[in-house]
Structure 1
Amino acid sequence: MQPPPAKADPAVNVLYGAAQPILGARILLKDPELLREGLVPAVWLAAFCAVCALVSPADGPIWAGRFKTFYRTFAVLAPVPSIVFAKHYARMAALVRWKLGFGACGPREYPLFTSLRRAIQQAIVIAIGLLPLAAIWHFIPFFGKIISQVVVGAWTVHWVVVDAFDDARVLLPGETVKSAEATDQRARSPWFVRMFLRAADRIPVRRVAGLLRRFRGDDRDAPRGAG
């Protein structure tokens, strides 16, 4: 495992980020304990989706209908494990860090309400990004709908992975959740968070600007003189 490239161009950062799930999968496949822990949320979700498929299959041939119901339910509920199993992911992250030789640490665990609030914020961000993608097939004949579905699926999976990474945070020796959060706030924000802040700086309505800042966890006051 290597740290992210320092001061790399955006293309390199994208490739580095895209490679992390692959590297993570290799580690899981080599370690039965980690593989078992990693599969727990997915297995519970798949079991629930299987029950839904058996109870209420979609229209069409019975097995095709069950597959459709299973797939749709799985897609809709894909973000749920990152909420319900947030503490599980945090404990797993601490275990992985120890197994990789980065030293002892503790899981950064949050209350269920905090995980739920973050999931709602994530859903809003996903929806904002999906609006133009979901509508594109109306303007492209023949393959527009297929392209739209592929892009929407990729965008959704991307955010499921991002949210799982967000849950998998640890506390270093001597850290508390509060001090770790303060350290996170001092780090450079990702591009979509900077987008929200830039929008907030340009909105003359103080309440709307403040809402955007609170949405990404920034408690600064709105620009002075805002109405």
Structure 2
Amino acid sequence: MTIRVLVADDQPLIRAGLVSLCNAAPGLTIVGDAADGGQAIALAASTTPDVILMDIRMPGLDGIVATRRILAGAPDPAPRVIVLTTFDLDEYVYAALAAGAAGFLLKDAPPARIISAIQTIAAGDILLAPQITHRLIEAYARHHRSPTPGDSRLSALTARETEVLRLIGTGAGNAEIAGGLALSEATVKTHVKRIMSKLRLSSRAQAVVAAYESGLVVPGRPAGR
């Protein structure tokens, strides 16, 4: 199956490089390229890409606003957004994940890493570079939120779903969750789907954010406590 990719970046050289890289990779095809968030929104609606490479900082509408608007208006299945940033500890990346982005990449990532990331995200897998992403979310949580384990959003979840969400927040994949809770992967997938529906989350990345914001995962606390 061909993965349809939309590139949004305000720097012409970077945008052209990403377009050339994707067009040269087997199984990938570029359906459009945008120089700002407004163009990205319009092209996403007209081309229905599978994956969007979204620069996080652009003039006019930035990548965060564009991501939020694209995902809010997208038909099912919605495109999966990978935000591009120059910094590995950029507070804007957290905002992009909260807006529904599936993950992020540093702009200096090697070509093979970018192609692999697109394929991974298109397949529905979890966050890219989890060690960086979790460090980012923890840093944000320490400075912007006091953990509140009684968060009312969790009241819609069963005890098992709450435990699954906590493990998602620690970075565990479905296989790890299944092993830890003595469940089948199919059962874990069902729990994850129900969590996403009940909490109105559009990506697994948002589930990680929700686990931190609700206090299920506390920065600096061992995962088992």
Q: Tell which structure's C-alpha radius of gyration is larger.
A: 1
More strand by share: 2
Question: Higher relative contact order at CA 8 Å, sep ≥6: structure 1 or structure 2?
Answer: 2
Q: TM-score range by the shorter chain?
A: under 0.3
TM-score under structure 1 length normalisation: 0.26
More helix by share: 1
TM-score under structure 2 length normalisation: 0.26
